[in-house]
Every structure is written in C-alpha cells, then in structure tokens.
Amino acid sequence: MGNKKSKVVDMADEVNLKHFNLLNSVGRGSFGKVRIVEHKDSKKLYALKYINKVECIKMNALKNILRERNILEKLDHPFVCNMRFAFQDDYNMFMTLDLMLGGDLRFHLNRRRFSEHAVRFWISELVCSLRYLHKQSIVHRDIKPDNILLDQAGHAHLTDFNIAITYNDKPLWSRSGTYNYMAPEMFSSHGYSTTVDWWSLGVVFYEAIYGQRPFTFENAEKVSEAIQYAEIPFPTVSKTGPVTEECISALKGFLERDVTKRLGCGPDGFLRIQQHAFFQDIDWDKLEQKKCKAPFVPSQTQSNFDISYDLEELLLEQNPLEARPRKRIQKLKSSLGKDMGRIEREFKNFDYLLYERYPGYVDPLKMCVGDPPEWVKCVNPHPVKELRETKSLETISTNDETKVQSAGTRRRTMDV
C-alpha cells in the first residue's frame, strides 16, 4: 500500500488513450460522445470524440465515421475544429479535436440575442472556413448553430464533419443534413454542390438576427415545401431592435433560391461577399489571422456547456471510458467481424505532433527520419529544396496508405 509503482506511458509509442488524462464530458451526438482530455506530454487540452464500434456498425454509420476521419486529416484552418489525433482500441474509435471552451452557438442563441455587429463577426469567420473547405472540394452539408463552436476569445469554428463529403464536380444527390437548414436544391432533381453550404449559413445568419429560423414547421414535408417555394419574411425589426437594410440585403443574398445569384456561390462568390455593404468594414486578412477582437466573449468563469452530459457519464454510463490493453482481433470477430475488420484497416492512427517529435531528415534524398517509430515511413521523393522549406506536417496519400512527412530525435516517457 502506498508503494505501488505508477505505470509508465511511452509517449513515443503510437498515440492511444493512455496518452491523455480524461476530464469532463461535454457533449453527445448521434454517432458518439465528447469529453475534454489533457495530453499528458504537452499539457494541452483537447476535445475527444469517441464512437463505440458496435453501435456505429449497428446504426450503419461506419461509412460516415471513416469519411469524417479522412476528411479531417486533410484540414487545418483557424476557423475549423481541426483533428489532432486519431486512434482506436477494441471498443471505440477516437478523434481528438481542437477544444472550444466557448460552447456552441445554439447554447448562446438559446440564452440571449446578439447585435448585428456580433453576428456579422461570426458569419465573416464562417465565410472564411467555408471558402477554405470548398477550395478543398469539401461540402459540409450540416451547417447549423449546434455545429458552430466558439473558443474562449469568441471566434467561431465549424465542427462535426460526419456527413461532409468530397465534391468532384459531379452533382451530389443524397438528401443529407438537418431539415430546417437544407437548401432548396437538395430537394430538386438536378443535384447540388457546395452551394448548399451558403444557404445553410444564411439560415444560421437569419436565426442569429431574428431569434428564429425562416420556417418553423415541425412536419418535414411542410418544411421541404416551404424551403422550395414559400416567401421568406425579412422584418425590419428584430427582438434586439431595427435590422439595417445592409443586413437584410445580405440575408436575402444567402437565402437566394437561384444558385447563380446566391451570395457566396460561383467563382467570384467570396469577392461578392467582400464587396457587399454589410461586410465592407471587415479586414479579411486580419480576420483570418484571428487578429480581430470578437464583439462577444463567452463566460470565462461559468460553463458554456450543458452540465447534464457530465452527470450522465458518471451515473448512467454502462462502460465508462478508460484505457484498455488491446486484444487479439480474432476474439472480437462475430457477425460484425467484417465491419470490425474494416475499422481495423481503415481507421488509421493520426498524430499531428509527429513533426515536433522528429524534426529533421537524416537523409533528405531518401526522405528518412532519425530514430523513427515503426509507423513513420519514408515518403515519395520531392525536390530537396522544397523539403527543407517545409514548416508543418504534411500527409501524402499513396495507394490508400497515408505516409507522414516528418522526422525526429527523442524518446519520451510519462508516468500515469
């Protein structure tokens, strides 16, 4: 008693749950749960999203989860909740994301109304994130206040890429998203593209200004009909006071049913937003560097989350989250074995800290790293000059194998 030695965690091993201290639970979604974790080495806080494998398979959600993980690996933007780690154990798939302690926009819209100035700031930041995603040929398809998170300084970030999809210039057809935020073209016979995200942003914009969505029917059929055909009201007065002509004009621009005229759409979409009177005071370069002060700063002393999530985790969770040693895959196989095997193959580990751990090539020509762990491989050769100028982690996908361009030096251990 009292002399029991603490277990040692090798921080140079492949990332796993032992690398993190588990803190509060902060959310639950259709496909998983979220809790705050602390990386034991860096002491940084993250949001850990974890999805039970069996439940995921039973819900036919595996394709979405694998696609989300692969999309997130490609992203790194100031106004996106970026993925920093991905790993799995025998029971769960884990994605560790940037932590946003300011809560989601739904949390705040349910508690108070906001000025045009504050709303313009959020919408401008989200415009930047959408522009970035669309340049990566990614359609989010589920933009709503619940999927917009604020950091402690009040900056807005897109999250939840569970139904996001890569767009390859061919029309998309599946009706995906949250009904009240779906664009009219999702119900058409012509398909859709990145245009749907700008409409959804318009609905969020409208809700933030007026305190309600353009259409409030609970019946899905009536909502879809209204989205396609009903006239949208644009009152000149909201619950916080007068709504300016410039604001109404911008709202009408995003909620334009003709995608050729919709604000944000087309090759000059971002330029038209920049030139719009409502956004004329935005310094876009400064904004994207997070150098603009947010008009609204979330509480620094009170929780910006629903505390019932943490209570539920403590009292009702049948299998509380904990680090467990991995078993032989054969023992897990049953009627779900095929999909479990797919998870094992395709839900690959990701660790953005690899670049920091292995800085510098031993041989730039062979792209080898110094004393690498076994999962770090050589990558395809590129001109040496370009390599020496590389400042951040890059991933190169070849034949479905993700190979990490990074290098490093030291082995680290941490006590549990």
As for how many domains the chain has, the answer is 3
Q: Are 119 and 241 in contact (CB under 8 A)?
A: no
Q: With cut-offs at 50, 70 and 90, classify the pLDDT of residue 32.
A: confident
Sign of the four-CA dihedral 30, 35, 38, 40: negative
pTM: 0.81
Which own/partner contact pairs does 32-36 have at CB distance under 8 Å and 24+ positions apart?
32/56, 33/309, 33/313, 35/313, 35/321, 36/99
CA distance 100 to 257: 33
Q: Are 363 and 374 in contact (CB under 8 A)?
A: no
- In 239-376, the DSSP E strands lie at 241-242, 350-351, 361-363, 368-369
Residue 288: name the closest of 161, 131, 393 by CA.
131
| Across 4-25, average pLDDT | 78
> Quick check: helix, strand or coil at residue 255?
coil
Q: What is the pLDDT of residue 414?
A: 46
Residue 194 in domain? yes
Whether 281 and 378 map to the same domain: the answer is no
104-108, 170-174, 215-219: least confidently modelled range: 215-219
Q: What is the pLDDT of residue 407?
A: 34
Strand pairing report for 138-139 and 45-52: unpaired
Q: With cut-offs at 50, 70 and 90, classify the pLDDT of residue 9.
A: low
Query: Quick count: other Cβ atoms within 10 Å of Cβ 409?
Result: 12
Whether 184 and 273 map to the same domain: the answer is yes
Residue 297 in domain? no
User: How many residues are there in the chain?
Assistant: 416
Rg, the chain, Cα only: 23
Whether 269 and 404 map to the same domain: the answer is no
Residue 288, pLDDT above cutoff 80: yes
Q: What is the pLDDT of residue 199?
A: 99
Q: What is the pLDDT of residue 358?
A: 57
Residue 293 in domain? no
Q: What is the pLDDT of residue 392?
A: 37
Angle between helices 116-135 and 245-254 (to 10 degrees): 30
| Measured torsion, CA atoms of residues 413, 364, 378, 48, in degrees rounded to the nearest 10 | 40
Residue 413, pLDDT above cutoff 50: no
Whether 57 and 154 map to the same domain: the answer is no
Tokens of 34: 């979220």
Phi-psi region of 398 (alpha: psi -120 to 50; beta: other; left: phi over 0): beta
Tokens of 206: 């409208």
DSSP 177: S
Q: How do residues 131-178 score in pLDDT, each as one tens digit?
A: 999 999 999 999 999 999 999 999 999 999 999 999 988 999 999 999
Per-residue buried b or exposed e for 13-52, using 16+ beta carbons within 10 Å of the residue's own CB = eebbbbbbebeebbbeeebbbbbbbbbbbeeebbbbbbbb
- In 81-174, the DSSP E strands lie at 83-88, 92-98, 138-139, 148-150, 156-158, 165-166
CATH number at residue 205: 1.10.510.10
Whether 117 and 259 map to the same domain: the answer is yes
Tokens of 345: 């193959």
54-68, 101-115, 353-367: least confidently modelled range: 353-367
Judge whether 49 is annotated as a binding position: yes
| Across 263-281, average pLDDT | 97
Whether 374 and 404 map to the same domain: the answer is yes
Element of type H or E holding 49: strand 45-52
Residue 351 in domain? no
Alpha helices, H only, 276-383: 284-288, 308-316, 329-332, 337-346, 354-357
| Across 89-107, average pLDDT | 95
174-178, 207-211, 322-326: which is most confident: 207-211
Residue 231, pLDDT above cutoff 50: yes
Residue 401, pLDDT above cutoff 70: no
Question: In the sheet where 20-28 sits, what is the strand order?
Answer: 20-28, 33-39, 45-52, 92-98, 83-88, 350-351
Residue 327, pLDDT above cutoff 80: no
Enclosing domain of residue 365 = 359-415
CA angle 47, 48, 52 (to 5 degrees): 150
Q: Are 205 and 121 in contact (CB under 8 A)?
A: no
- CA 126 to chain CA centroid, Å, is 12
CATH number at residue 65: 3.30.200.20
Q: What is the pLDDT of residue 332?
A: 52
Q: Are 9 and 40 in contact (CB under 8 A)?
A: yes
Residue 394 in domain? yes
Whether 181 and 228 map to the same domain: the answer is yes
HSE at residue 370, side-chain half, CA atoms within 13 A, is 12
Active site residues: 142
Residue 353 in domain? no
Whether 202 and 215 map to the same domain: the answer is yes
Please enumerate in sequence order all residues whose Cβ is within 8 A of that of 244, keeping only pairs 6 or more positions apart, or say none. 116, 278
Whether 235 and 313 map to the same domain: the answer is no
Whether 135 and 178 map to the same domain: the answer is yes
Residue 365 in domain? yes
- CA 168 to chain CA centroid, Å, is 21
Whether 251 and 185 map to the same domain: the answer is yes
Whether 210 and 279 map to the same domain: the answer is yes
Residue 312 in domain? yes
- CA 135 to chain CA centroid, Å, is 16
